[in-house]
């Protein structure tokens, strides 16, 4: 399996800066974590990941607000932000949250999201640090594997952008 050059760059940059990363995944089902751990040396910076495919697990494992999930569904920017922060906390090591949390939630297709009706290709990435969380909306196209692969690549790019802002 080939590893994206950006994954090497991310692991290298995190290592050089002494930072850690954790993931919370829904539509990517572990692909993001898998991409990161393919890079030699990832164990120095990758705390862990949670695949919270079922909506209830987003609340139970990651602390996403249950009312938010009930009202907006899992494919939502605030859900992505809370998932990313939840990953930081859930994957704390020795009492220290991960420096960077990355989350993926969305609709890989081919059918629309059954809860919200959002079309395939609607994706939200969550990026969280101790300074706060943000969401990035993606409108992707292609089949299910393509949407999932594009989501992983976009999450890694967002992570690289985010750690550029670390002092």
Strand partners, 22: 48, 101
Per-residue pLDDT tens over the stretch 10-67: 999 999 999 999 999 999 999 999 999 999 999 999 999 999 999 999 999 999 999 9
∠ CA 99-51-137, rounded to 5° = 70
Cβ proximity of 90 and 98 under 8 Å: no
Model's pTM, two decimal places?
0.97
Strand partners, 49: 23
Whether the predicted pLDDT of 167 surpasses 60: no
3-state per-residue secondary structure call for the chain: CCCCHHHHHHHHHHHHHCCCEEEEECCCCCHHHHHHHCCCCHHHCEEEEEECCCHHHHHHHHCCCHHHHHHHCCCCHHHHHHHHHHHHHHCCECCECCCEEEEEEECCCCCCCCCCCCCCCEEEEEEEECCEEEEEEEECCCCHHHHHHHHHHHHHHHHHHHHHCCC
pLDDT at 4: 77
Per-residue pLDDT tens over the stretch 52-87: 999 999 999 999 999 999 999 999 999 999 999 999
Residues sharing a CB contact under 8 Å with residue 128, sequence separation 6 or more, in sequence order: 81, 84, 85, 87, 88, 100, 101, 103, 134
Whether the predicted pLDDT of 163 surpasses 70: yes
Per-residue pLDDT tens over the stretch 93-140: 999 999 999 999 999 999 999 888 999 999 999 999 999 999 999 999
Q: Is 62 exposed, middle or buried (0-12, 13-18, 19+ CB in 10 A)?
A: buried
Cβ proximity of 108 and 141 under 8 Å: no
């Amino acid at each position: 399996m080939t590893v994206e050059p950006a994954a090497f760059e991310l692991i290298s940059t995190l290592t050089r800066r002494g930072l850690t990363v954790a993931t919370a995944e829904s539509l990517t089902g572990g692909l993001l974590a898998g991409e990161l751990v393919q890079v030699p040396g990832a164990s120095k910076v990758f705390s862990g990941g949670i695949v919270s495919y079922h909506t209830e697990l987003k609340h139970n494992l990651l602390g996403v607000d249950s009312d938010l999930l009930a009202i907006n569904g899992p494919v939502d920017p605030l859900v992505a932000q809370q998932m990313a922060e939840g990953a930081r906390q859930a994957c704390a090591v020795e009492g220290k949250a991960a420096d960077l949390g990355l989350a993926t939630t969305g609709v890989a297709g081919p059918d629309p999201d059954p809860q919200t009706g959002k079309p395939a290709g609607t994706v939200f990435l969550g990026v969280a640090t101790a300074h706060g969380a943000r969401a990035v909306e993606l409108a992707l196209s292609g089949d299910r594997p393509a949407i999932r692969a594009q989501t992983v690549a976009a999450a890694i790019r967002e992570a690289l952008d985010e750690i550029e802002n670390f002092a």
